[in-house]
Amino acid sequence: MDKEAEEKYLLAGKIAAEVREESRSWLKVGKPLLELAEQIEGAIRSKGAEPAFPVNLSLNEISAHYTPPKNDETKIADKDMVKIDIGVHVDGYIADTAYTVSFNEEKQHIVEAVKEALDEAVKMCKPGAMVADISARIEDTIKKHNCNPVRNLTGHGLDRYTEHAEPEIPNVKNNSSYVLKEDQVLAIEPFATDGEGAVKDTETVFIFMIHERKPVRSVDARKIMNFASVFSGLPFAERWIPLPLFNTRMALRELSQRGAVYEYPVLKEKSGGKVAQYEHTVIVRDEPLITTK
């Protein structure tokens, strides 16, 4: 990794960590999710960076990919478990970090499970380490807290302007022979639940990514493709699009039918269990370098 790339990864991580910690004081019962999302994304931009993806604010059994739409009236309720997943990029160099707050003390053990699993996994992110060993440590740590790891969500590599690169790092034991290499950048993100330990797609989609520019019929669809081009292949939120909501959704439907956009469906724990998540971005070194600490 050259010096410029490392500096930008570290700056993105520093900003992500600052916003993550600032956001803790904004999390209160009664807080509208839309207001919280705009605060977090505004804080990223105020520090000279850009969101690497729309902030994910996922409640309870909703595991990932929920970002509030323009008309969202959802508020944090008493007993909710709130996952805050923040992405920051500086010139395409990404930092990805997440934490969970439970407003129900009886479910705090799920949060503790992923916090400890993250700490254990990060320590192993050294050259020559096997993904299978990291995954086994994550699963064993989560199960120690009488929770289940979410088996079909994974950590992942990060590349410039690429949010999901090799390798995948499952939260459960596996037969991967993948060996970590020096200077790889990884997003380590354990998910734990008191449910069965698997997520499924819902029909709700608020996050998109341009997959391929395609010829389209509507002016609005062309406007969205042009609007999204500034993100260089990174995901964007429906609510970021500067069109009326009805026009936006009709145009996105056309783009989806044409195969021009990739959709990120909201993910839900299959059995309705509460889900917690913690995440850091790590550069693989003999002494693992956590950019989002």
Catalytic residues: 85, 96, 156, 164, 189, 279
Is the four-CA dihedral 29, 32, 35, 40 of positive or negative sign?
positive
Tokens of 279: 């995440």
Buried b (16+ CB within 10 A) or exposed e, 65-88: bbbbbeebebbbeeebbbbbbbbb
C-alpha count within 13 angstroms, C-beta hemisphere, residue 227: 21
CA 290/CA 283 separation, integer angstroms: 6
Q: Is the distance from CB of 250 to CB of 68 less than 8 angstroms?
A: no
Residues with Cβ within 8 Å of residue 37, at least 6 apart in sequence? 54, 55, 57, 67, 68
Count of residues making up the chain: 293
Amino acid 244 reads P
The residues, any chain, with a CB within 8 Å of residue 268's CB and separated by 6 or more, are 61, 62, 63, 199, 200, 202
